[in-house]
Chains A and B, each alone.
Chain A
Amino acid sequence: MDSTVRGDTMTAFRWRDSPETIARLVKTETIKTWKTSDVTLNPNEACAFIENGKIGDVLSEEVVRNVGGGFARFMGDFLGRKAKDRRMLFAMTGPMDISVPFIHPLGDGQTAKGVAQFRLQIRKGDLPKLLNLFANRPPVLDRVNLSLIIGQEASHRVIAPSLSAIESLQQLRGFELQERFQMRSDKELRPLLQTMGLTMLGAMLITHQTDLERLSALQHSLRAATDTEGAQAEAEVQRLAHRESVTLRRIECEMNIQRGKAKGQVMIEVEQELHELRKQEAVWEAELKRDQARADLDAKKMENKTAVAMSLFNEVQERKKERMKTSNDLQESMMRLAAENGALTPEVMQEFLRQQGGQAPPAVPHPCPACQQIVQPEWNVCPHCGTGQQG
């Protein structure tokens, strides 16, 4: 409890000095100040007055003046002219979260740990019911105390029955468990909460990671680390392969360039050589043409000579034919004379033929002079009688 001076005629009474405090029962006689104390009730605060055992007004959103202390009260107390018992019950009327820790085995043998969170509210009209709470407890109620008060009943009536039915982690994290927990909390805890003037707005089961989930998370993180390392190694391999391909390509390009240069050099040399060869070819062609022309000329000369010789030969032949004709005519006449005179013997005939230009006897089979058998012209001796032929 804290008192601060505001002005010089009154003191502001503050009933709450910690955010954990939910409600407080204050006896006015404990407010010992020479100046009267006022209290300002904010919209989320309410105060019920209990005077001589009777519940009085429940106030909110206003400044309640002269709640205690002051010389007049001191005098009234001194003279016995004041209420015998006067108390003020202050409370927060906003929603508050009360956590109840739990450890409970699940159906599959695991242990669930966590907190059951209940969202509660003290409504202005229900404020006097808080007196039930303060009947055998200290006059200050904070969240921890309230958690202890409702914890045991919540554990046995709601948390344990809800978790006992759970047989897998999926059920533990499922929507259905939360829904059933909320509806069960609302129903099962209402009698308890109503006696204390509390209204339940909501309930939620917050479970920490189980051992199996931790193991699963560890396995997952290790797998992720392995995958990450694998991915990095794969990326490194790809990078190396890429570098290798780039280097190979560069070498290939350089080789192609060198090859191109060499090829170009060779081409230049070959072209030069070709040029020389073509030059030589042209020379040879010219020489060939010259030689051919010379040969043609020689051939023409030979032809001319042959033609001259042929013409001379023909002239000689003509003269020979004329001479032979003349001679034949003479021989013909002589042969006729010989025939007319009966002097045409084989010897005459043979002589005639010999004179006819030294011609050989006609190559015809003829009778052997000795045995009159037919002898071939090329035979030198008669095969029948062995007589030799006289040439």
Chain B
Amino acid sequence: MIGTPADIIKYTRAVQIILNGYGGYKKGKRVETDKQIRDEIVRTTIRVRQHMQNIHDRSVDEDNLNIVRNARSCMQEIDALIEDVDKSSSGTQHAFFSGQRTISNKDLKALIVHDHEMIEMVTNAVNLSNDSERAQQQGSDELTSTIQRCHQMISSCRGFYSERSTLLNGLNS
């Protein structure tokens, strides 16, 4: 049973395009799918980190401490996000009489929409990190502000991702 109501098909498709081997949020497969989603977030976030690393290394060579500090700060935020995602809850199978409720279409819809938005936010962060690197290559004055916007986006991702545990709380696998 695929728990995807008609109004969230577009989100499902979007997630499906991103994830290889995506089987949807099926009953009994939710934890597996959840791990795939988390791996994807981590993978995308690592891309942001690599861009920031490039900016950091070039700024070290140029002895531009202001940019180094900003890039380092952003990288630390990215590391924190990766840890958040890596060590987050997937939900688990409790004992039969533990009061754990069966997953409903409403739960699935909320989860899929949340994951989709999360992936979009991380993708935006990748775009911002790309913009930052490009700004550095072009010697643009907007480099600092772009890095800071990327940092802000990563912080938002951390905050947004923390909502996920609320959605997963008490759900059956």
Contact of A201 among B56, B79, B87 (CB under 8 A): B79
Residues of A within 8 A of B60 (CB): 183-184, 186-187
B72 interface residue (CB < 8 Å to A): yes
Interface centre among A121, A125, A186 (most CB of B within 10 A): A186
Max count, chain B CB within 10 A of own CB: residue among A44, A124, A183: A183
Say whether chain B's binding surface is mostly helix, strand, loop, or mixed.
Answer: helix
* B122 vs chain A, min Cβ distance (A): 16
| Chain A residues near B65 (CB-CB < 8 A) | 179
Q: Which residues of B contact A43 (CB under 8 A)?
A: 86-87
Q: Do B56 and A186 have beta carbons less than 8 Å apart? A: yes
Determine the residue in chain A with the shortest Cβ distance to B69: A179
Q: How many residues of A contact B (CB 8 A)?
A: 18
**Chain B 80-128 interface residues, beta-carbon cutoff 8 Å to A:** 82-83, 86-87, 90
A187 CA to B56 CA in the complex, in Å? 8
Instruction: Please determine whether B57 and A187 come into contact, CB atoms closer than 8 angstroms.
Output: yes
Say whether B86 contacts A93, CB under 8 Å. Answer: yes
> What residues on B are CB-neighbors of A95 within 8 Å?
83
Cβ distance B68 to chain A, nearest Cβ, rounded Å: 5
Cross-chain contact A44 with B87 (CB below 8 angstroms): yes
CA A95 to CA B42, docked complex, whole Å: 16
List A residues 176-233 near B (Cβ within 8 Å): 179, 182-184, 186-187, 190, 201-202
A203 to chain B, nearest CB (A): 11
Give B68's nearest chain A residue, CB to CB. A183
Distance of A191 Cα from B69 Cα, bound (Å): 21
Q: Does residue A129 face the partner (Cβ distance < 8 Å to B)?
A: no
B35 near A61 with CB under 8 A, answer yes
A93, A179, A187, A190 pick with most chain B CB within 10 angstroms: A187
B46 interface residue (CB < 8 Å to A): yes
Bound complex: CA A55 to CA B12 (Å) = 31
Nearest first, the 8 closest Cβ-Cβ pairs linking A and B are A187-B60, A187-B57, A183-B60, A183-B68, A43-B87, A201-B79, A186-B56, A183-B72
A residues adjacent to B (C-beta < 8 A): 43-44, 61, 93, 95, 121, 123-125, 179, 182-184, 186-187, 190, 201-202
7 more A-B residue pairs beyond the given contacts A44-B87, A201-B79, with a C-beta to C-beta distance below 8 A? A183-B60, A186-B56, A186-B57, A186-B60, A186-B72, A190-B53, A190-B57
| Interface CB pairs A-B, < 8 A, 25 | A44-B87, A61-B35, A61-B90, A95-B83, A123-B42, A123-B46, A123-B82, A124-B39, A124-B42, A125-B43, A125-B46, A179-B65, A183-B60, A183-B68, A183-B72, A184-B60, A186-B53, A186-B60, A187-B56, A187-B57, A187-B61, A190-B53, A190-B57, A201-B76, A202-B76
